[in-house]
Amino acid sequence: MSFFEGIKELTNDCKLLNILLYTALSIGIFKITTFSLSFSSLIFDIFLKPSINYKKYGAVKSTKGDGKGGAKWAVVTGASDGIGKEYAKQLASKGFNILLISRTQSKLEILSEEISSEFKVETKTLAIDFSTDKPSNYELISQFTKNLPITILINNVGQSHSIPVPFLQTQDEELRNIITINNISTLKTTQIIAPIIQNTIKSSKGIRGLILTMGSFGGLLPTPYLATYSGSKAFLQNWSSALSGELKNEGIDVELIISYLVTSSMSKIKYSSATIPNPKQFVKSVLSSVGSRSGAQERYATSTPYWTHALMHFGIENTVGIYSKFANGLNFNMHKSIRIRALKKQARLEAEAKKQ
């Protein structure tokens, strides 16, 4: 090879190296820019964005739910305790009449009286055990709601495992109840209520409908020892996002709400902290941020509204990754430890009961 040929080859190599360097630099700049924009959107959504005005969904201070000028109705499933109870109370405070659906009639009656007395709105109750999956359940919902001007549906009813459990040891009844309550009842209830919302907003110009469905970090992250529950909530993610695409142009906003732990009978956590809000705090964050993705920056029609949950979601997504081996292993070890402690407590209680 002559001297000049060597120089030419070296020059070509330098050009290729420059192309690679500029390509890497461009990708780096793009990644930094998109990350910065996403993080800025996160901060704006959870700390700076103004709360929405629920007049867009038909909230008025008149409780005459006549389908025209009066207050519209919100349907809340799993309404008698915890998060569902707070959804009912906070929507009532905004000027909606409330249909409470849950399993225990006595609890529903107490809550109904409390809401109607405090917020001066109309309330109705419907006691249904969704785990039975009887056709009569949905016939009853259909008959009960057909003449109500409904604009909001809160799909809150849900069930998890009693304690973390390996999938192969999951009892058949628990497995079926989780899928039936979390998935089948949510889909069938939505099939009944969504057309009513469509008719209501058609007869009341200028308002929209709203369907919120409760998701979970258990569905966001594949969760060993909660496999059935995790799968049921992951199913709701795709279903809800797909439904949002279908109903957006129909005037109905559809969102999946993702939460980490909240103090409730389901989580069995009694005391709140920075990362574990009580139901009142959590629902306030949900209702003030409808239409914002907050921590769910990468997901359509999805929100992780509570501020610490939002930061956790964003952090996991942008570091180890939702579906990473590391995240899966961390979840495995955490829930295995919870299971061991729960079994020890259960054995202790059984031993104490035998002594008595």
* Residues placed in the known binding site: 216
Element (H, E) at 261: none
Number of H helices, E strands in the chain: 11, 7
SS3 percent helix, strand, coil of the chain, rounded to 5, is 60, 10, 30
DSSP 127-150: E--GGG--HHHHHHHHHHHTTS-E
Q: Which residues pair with 252 in a beta bridge?
A: 209
Residue positions in the annotated binding site for substrate?
A: 216
Sign of the CA dihedral running 211, 217, 221, 225: negative
* DSSP codes, 303-331: EB-SHHHHHHHHHHHTTT-TT-HHHHHHH
Please give the angle made by the CA atoms of 209, 215 and 216, to the nearest 5 degrees: 155
3-state class (DSSP) for residue 96: coil
* Letter string b/e over residues 31-65, b meaning 16 or more CB atoms within 10 A of that residue's CB: eeeeeeeeeebbeebbeeeeebebebbbbbeebeb
Q: How far is CA 280 from CA 89, 159, 262, 267, in A?
A: 9, 20, 10, 15
Question: Which of 36, 330, 39 shows the shortest CA–CA distance to 322?
Answer: 330
- Residues recognised as catalytic: 229
> What would the two tokens of residue 275 be?
């990362």
Main-chain dihedrals φ then ψ at residue 255, nearest 5 degrees? -140, 145
